[in-house]
Amino acid sequence: MRADLAQLLPDGFARREHLRALGATDRQLAVAVEQGALIRIRPGWYARAGVHPERQAAMSAGGPATCASELRARGVWTLERDRRVHAALDPHGHPAVARSQSIRVHWTRERTGLSGGVTLERALRDAAGCLTPGAVVAAIDSALHLGFTTPHRLTGIPSGVLDLVDGRAESGLESIARVRLARIGLSARPQARFAGVGRVDLLVEGRLVVETDGDEFHSSAVARRRDRARDAALAALGLPTLRFGAEQVLSSDPTLESSTLGMLARLVAVKDRGRRVARGWRRVDPRWISAFLHGAA
């Protein structure tokens, strides 16, 4: 048996029986817990120190993390205001957990393997049946962009959702803005590249740049100076820029749509702009935006 017991938990979790089979004694397990190398999360189960807190909370409840919790643990972009831990549980397992206010239960009879983990594709399938459409599209875009999965592996996800995804997107805000604009009939190409500028979030109808500014990368003075320089360089190329913050992209208010349509109406270089703008205005629907983002009718 290896001296470092934590090495026996490559996926973060293991049953006591598994560790014993690998040569660990009860005394060694107790010492590892005392020293903080292992965490006893529930009877018969151990976690390696440093495991993602949502994975640990889910396993403590009786099953592996899934849906938004597993996606967050893997570094996939997620949009969820409800921060409950998502856990995949056997319906014959822990009925008391179903009444917990901190656990969102995904009942399943699917075996999760020795370490208790679920695959990324399983987490995305659970997300498709749990989260709002906007959150699911953004998460799948993120997983594809990061190279964590491929389209042919995304089985069990509704085709209506898969039709909206684009792995070129580099942020969830960009994904959501793209789908909102596509809903009103506007072409929004992600990550278009321009000489002297680099990539932009969205190129709308080939003539207008839309940037989605998350606070993480656009709130500092340095970032603002960089953004202004990029906007000026794009203007020199004849490409005006509209910037939207997270509060606008994630709002049911159609500011994103109305501002984009208003700008396009003034860009004479846009092909058939009158028809495109008129069609777009007819398709602006705050109820659809709300359902896409928040699941509300």
When pLDDT is averaged across residues 86-101 and rounded to a whole number, the result is 71
**In a shared domain, residues 117 and 42:** no
**In a shared domain, residues 113 and 155:** yes
Q: Of 139, 167, 195, which marks where a domain is finished?
A: 167
pLDDT for 42 equals 87
* Total structural domains within the chain: 3
pLDDT mean across residues, the chain: 89
pLDDT for 90 equals 81
Question: 143 is in which domain, residue-wise?
Answer: 52-167
When pLDDT is averaged across residues 109-124 and rounded to a whole number, the result is 75
Q: What is the CATH number of the domain that holds 226?
A: 3.40.960
Does the structure show a pLDDT above 90 at 127? yes
- Percentage of the residues of the chain whose pLDDT score is greater than 70: 92
Q: If pLDDT is split at 50, 70 and 90, which confidence band does 141 have?
A: very high
DSSP-based three-state secondary structure for 82: coil
When pLDDT is averaged across residues 87-92 and rounded to a whole number, the result is 84
| Cβ–Cβ < 8 Å for 276, 264 | yes
Classify residue 3: in a domain, yes or no: no
Does the structure show a pLDDT above 60 at 272? yes
Does the structure show a pLDDT above 70 at 93? no
Q: Of 167, 186, 205, which marks where a domain is finished?
A: 167
**In a shared domain, residues 134 and 202:** no
**In a shared domain, residues 125 and 201:** no
DSSP-based three-state secondary structure for 95: helix
Rounded-to-integer distance, Cα 94 and Cα 86, Å: 14
Does the structure show a pLDDT above 50 at 114? no
Does the structure show a pLDDT above 80 at 100? no
In 3D space, the residue among 125, 137, 243, 241 whose CA is nearest the CA of residue 183 turns out to be 137
pLDDT for 285 equals 96
**In a shared domain, residues 113 and 176:** no
Q: What are phi and psi of 106, to 5 degrees?
A: -115, 100
Least confident of 43-57, 86-100, 152-166, 199-213: 86-100
* 30-45 as b/e: b if 16+ CB within 10 A: eebeeeebbbebeeeb
Amino acid identity, residue 253?
D
pLDDT for 1 equals 39
When pLDDT is averaged across residues 213-224 and rounded to a whole number, the result is 70
| Cβ–Cβ < 8 Å for 252, 286 | yes
Q: If pLDDT is split at 50, 70 and 90, which confidence band does 66 have?
A: very high
Does the structure show a pLDDT above 90 at 236? yes
**In a shared domain, residues 112 and 20:** no
Does the structure show a pLDDT above 90 at 246? yes
pLDDT for 116 equals 58
